[in-house]
Amino acid sequence: MTYDDATRPAEDASLTAVMADRRRLMNLAYRLLGSVAEAEDAVQEGYARWYAMSEQDRDAIRSPGAWLTTVIGRICLDLLGSARSRREQYVGEWVPEPLPDGADWASTSNASDPTSPDPADRVTLDESVTMAFLVTLESMTPAERVALILHDVFGYSYPEIADVVGRTAQACRQLAYSARNRARSTRVPPAQSTEQSELVRAFRKAWEAHDVNAILDVLDPDAIAIADGGGVTQAALAPIVGAAQIGRHYLTIAARRPDHVTIAEEVVNGRPGLVVRLSGSAVTVLAFDVVDHKIKQIWAIVNPAKLRHWDRRTI
């Protein structure tokens, strides 16, 4: 892109104002979609639609940020609708894409393209991106999910949400209420981060030592382990239920583990988790949910497409 010197200041100012919302929009799209790649695509498409308009039409929009939020919210709503059918064809279990601590990842940027992903794009980690919460969102309808995230996480009013989902403000209020009740019925107060960190560390040590009894000590008797390999790499195709079954499964994995594999305690979606690396490259990211002082849920993401940001920590 080239600029005429006379128009550069005005255009740069306009571009800065529009791009200032990009990080917030990435935060919104990731929470709605559970996928960094799909969130990047949704935000990219929103900006593409913005720049496809004439300059006169863009100037007529009083709040570019609100316009982009509405458009990208609708894009995400459409993607959520189609995702259900896609995930029915997904090989094995589908788990949201995990994020490193502080979303310390960067997208490939193209400075000449103002709509390209920027290294400054990040997803802020809080309770609304824990793996447990993202998995709960999967049980909601697309409209419920959009209404809940826009209202409870981003503070949008119901009339504003109505512009996104194409329903009345009262209907959006009911959607958020229904989604909120569904989330509450499946969640318990989260464990303190220090407690989860201690349990995850104990699990790691027991796993490394091939000590099944020590693994059982930190697992809830009815714990569930889910793996997402996407049909690309070997992973359990169905949930593993029960501490004993999970213990045997992870000991089998440990017995096959090469000597140059490392297991590190790292933050996964804002909570203590584990990252397994082979020759320095992440091959598995494990997220945990702790309930009543025991590990209740384990999510193991081994699909390489969902681990791309875990090998770019130094960017």
**What CATH number is attached to the domain comprising 34?**
1.20.140.160
Closest C-alpha among 286, 289, 288 to residue 276: 286
At 127, the pLDDT band (50, 70, 90 cuts) reads confident
Comparing 229 with 108, the larger pLDDT belongs to 229
Q: Flag whether 109 is in a domain.
A: no
Query: What domain range is 230 assigned to?
Result: 193-311
Q: Flag whether 164 is in a domain.
A: yes
Amino acid at 85: S
Residue in the block written with tokens 């997220």? 287
Q: Flag whether 205 is in a domain.
A: yes
Whole-prediction pTM = 0.85
Q: Which two tokens stand for residue 236?
A: 């359990």
Which of 186, 208, 239 is the C-terminal boundary of a domain?
A: 186
Check whether 306 has a pLDDT greater than 70.
yes
Check whether 117 has a pLDDT greater than 60.
no
* Residue 196: predicted pLDDT: 94
Check whether 121 has a pLDDT greater than 90.
no
Packing angle between helix 193-208 and helix 243-256, nearest 10 degrees?
Answer: 50
* Residue 115: predicted pLDDT: 45
Q: Flag whether 119 is in a domain.
A: no
| Cα–Cα distance, 154 to 150 (Å, whole number) | 5
Residue 66: how many other CB atoms lie within 10 Å: 14
Comparing 183 with 19, the larger pLDDT belongs to 183
For 9-21, what is the mean pLDDT?
Answer: 60
Amino acid at 70: T
Which of 148, 166, 186 is the C-terminal boundary of a domain?
A: 186
- Residue 270 gets the label, from left (phi > 0), alpha (psi -120 to 50) or beta, of left
| Cα–Cα distance, 156 to 102 (Å, whole number) | 24
Same-domain check for residues 220 and 141: no
Same-domain check for residues 131 and 235: no
**DSSP structure string for 84-143:** HHHHHSSSS---PPP--GGG-------TT-TTS--TT-----SGGGSHHHHHHHTTS-HH
Q: How many domains does the chain have?
A: 2
Could you read off the pLDDT of 185-237 as tens digits, one per residue?
666 566 678 999 999 999 999 999 999 999 999 999 999 999 999 988 889 99
The alpha-helical segments, DSSP class H, found in the chain are: 8-19, 22-33, 36-52, 55-59, 64-88, 131-137, 142-148, 158-165, 169-186, 193-208, 212-218, 243-256
| Cα–Cα distance, 36 to 104 (Å, whole number) | 13
Comparing 85 with 177, the larger pLDDT belongs to 177
Same-domain check for residues 137 and 275: no
Q: Flag whether 85 is in a domain.
A: yes
| Cα–Cα distance, 235 to 298 (Å, whole number) | 13
| Cα–Cα distance, 259 to 208 (Å, whole number) | 11
* Residue 6: predicted pLDDT: 41
Whole-angstrom Cα Rg for the chain: 21
For 90-102, what is the mean pLDDT?
Answer: 89
Closest C-alpha among 29, 243, 62, 240 to residue 149: 29
